[in-house]
Structure 1
Amino acid sequence: MAEELELAGGNAADFVLRVGQTIRKPWAASTESVQQFLTALRLAGVEVPRPLGRDEQGRQVIEFVDGTLAMDSGQLNSTELRKVGEMIRIIHDNSPKPTPADLAQWKVLIPAPKPDLICHNDLAPWNLILGERMVFIDWDGSGPSSRLWDLAYAAQSFSGLWAGTNPEEARTQLRAFVDGYRADEQQRRALPETMVHRVQAMYELLKRANCAGEQPWAAMFDQGHGAHWKATAEYVAEHLEIWREALIED
């Protein structure tokens, strides 16, 4: 077997290893469902990492995708944002609806108010590879959610709606991303407030985990993630009217 190289990232996994052109992670309760989800997307022609089952040590095996994380490449420009929005639309359009068994058994970290679609649940710059291929990685948190809930998280993070960002620049980036997704009028009107709720939910997760000592989220809260998401939630809420104007203007 090729040399095992430990990789950074994967906050919720005990380890992430690169072995040749594959990634090895622990096999979790949801891994089989995640691999079935990825297989279904690939059969529909969606560009996602190839699931490769288990290795002889019982670890999950998935294709390694070479490239640079979008989060390490600076803020994406409008053309790139439209491309990412288009990618996410393709993923959503080819994702299955959850069955009653999915809703009962497949738990997600931050549940959507009305889950009606199997989603990645962490479509963000830290999970997008840029290179010869543009591919979303780290599907371990997949599960029942909703198109709007998943889109809100992606729109906020990819469009650079972070505390300290010039809101006029952010609105231009947000419009490009949502245009790429081809969001309809109903989605555009619902998206600004949904972004607020989704970012607040991220902060509340970290806060609850910190109080309960639930890892790795408790440690992440203490390491600055709590303050970061609290400030982000306040920023997104403060400029809510700007996001509305950006998405519904002619």
Structure 2
Amino acid sequence: MSDERRMAGGNTGGAVRVGDTVRRAAGRWTPSVHAVLRHLEAAGFDGAPRALGFDEQGREVLSFLPGDVVGDARPWPAWVHSDDALRQVARWLRDLHTAVAGFTPAPDAVWREGGAWRPGLIIGHNDAAPYNAAWSGGRLTGFFDWDFAAPVTPEWDLAFTAFAWVPLHARHVVAAEGFTAFDQRPRRLRLFLDTYGWSGSLAAFAEIVRRRVSASAEGIRRVAAAGDPAYQRMIEHGVDTALETAVRELAGFPGPEPAGDEPHPSHRRDRT
């Protein structure tokens, strides 16, 4: 299409914008993700793109979420780490989990990183990080890139989102992104959890985060070993080792944290 505009970012070929739609390479998991997006649309949830089928090239077609994105530059804009952004993200996630709670995937549903649905699970976004968010006029429009949607407990999805936004990633990673107020992380985590509606202790939740992040690092290595080039690039960029560093640094959180490394370009799981 002559009016295609390449969109920034992405580890798997990126996406193009055509008018008010986005075209992305489809995967075997895409029909299952589209079923989730159609459910969210029917439920009146407006913080996600609409699934519009496939184009003549076999690419998935999604509605375009208007607004600004953080892009590839470092550090990120200061508002990314504001309390207001933290509250908006927590409310978005709470509303998502409420909207998707009534969704039961098809028995043959396929998810990019696997996982089988059972009663008590939801379909989480699983990558609701700053690099996948759109903002307009200071308001969170929603999150794009639903490729990693899959069955999880609500706490599992909550854990990754808190990890990305509080943020709880390794010090050298978040410092490169512009966050150095490490003494504020317990307060920010409590604010995030209270806004979402999770009332457990910070220490208990930090352990959930550590398990979630460890599983992510293991998953990256497993899929890379199976030959996926996008995951192999993550290994080359040290994404798995940065996640392991975060797990070590979160030991004993919210107690005293270890001294951080010098900032250097962060490694993140960003895909358009």
Structure 1 match to 2:130: 125
| Percent sequence identity over aligned pairs | 32
Residues 159 and 170 of structure 1 are in contact (CA less than 8 Å); yes or no, is this contact kept in structure 2? Answer: yes
Structure 2 counterpart of 1:42, one-letter code: E
Residues 32, 64 of structure 1: CA spacing in aligned structure 2 closer, same or farther, 3 A cutoff? same
Secondary structure in structure 2 of the residue aligned to 1:175: helix
Residues 212, 27 of structure 1: CA spacing in aligned structure 2 closer, same or farther, 3 A cutoff? closer
Does residue 1:171 correspond to 2:170, yes or no? no
Post-superposition offset of 1:86: 0.9
Residues 202 and 254 of structure 2 are in contact (CA less than 8 Å); yes or no, is this contact kept in structure 1? Answer: no
Structure 2 match to 1:76: 81
Secondary structure in structure 2 of the residue aligned to 1:3: coil
Matched residue count: 240
Residues 123 and 136 of structure 1 are in contact (CA less than 8 Å); yes or no, is this contact kept in structure 2? Answer: yes
Q: Distance in 2 between matches of 1:36 and 1:209?
A: 24
Post-superposition offset of 1:158: 0.6
Post-superposition offset of 1:178: 1.0
Does residue 1:60 correspond to 2:60, yes or no? yes
Secondary structure in structure 2 of the residue aligned to 1:58: coil
TM-score, length basis structure 2: 0.77
TM-score, length basis structure 1: 0.83
Does residue 1:161 correspond to 2:168, yes or no? yes
Does residue 1:138 correspond to 2:142, yes or no? no
Secondary structure in structure 2 of the residue aligned to 1:52: strand
Q: What value does the CA root-mean-square deviation take over the aligned residues?
A: 2.8
Structure 2 match to 1:247: none
Q: Distance in 1 between matches of 2:158 and 2:149?
A: 14
Residues 54, 113 of structure 1: CA spacing in aligned structure 2 closer, same or farther, 3 A cutoff? closer
Residues 156, 111 of structure 1: CA spacing in aligned structure 2 closer, same or farther, 3 A cutoff? farther
Structure 1 counterpart of 2:77, one-letter code: S
Residues 127, 112 of structure 1: CA spacing in aligned structure 2 closer, same or farther, 3 A cutoff? farther
Q: Distance in 1 between matches of 2:256 and 2:94?
A: 23
Structure richer in helix, relative to its length: 1
Does residue 1:239 correspond to 2:253, yes or no? yes
Unaligned runs of 5+ in 2: 172-179, 258-272
Secondary structure in structure 2 of the residue aligned to 1:237: coil
Unaligned runs of 5+ in 1: 244-250
Post-superposition offset of 1:58: 2.2
Post-superposition offset of 1:121: 1.4
Does residue 1:10 correspond to 2:10, yes or no? yes
Residues 166 and 189 of structure 2 are in contact (CA less than 8 Å); yes or no, is this contact kept in structure 1? Answer: yes
* Higher normalized contact order (CA 8 Å, seq sep 6+, divided by chain length): 2
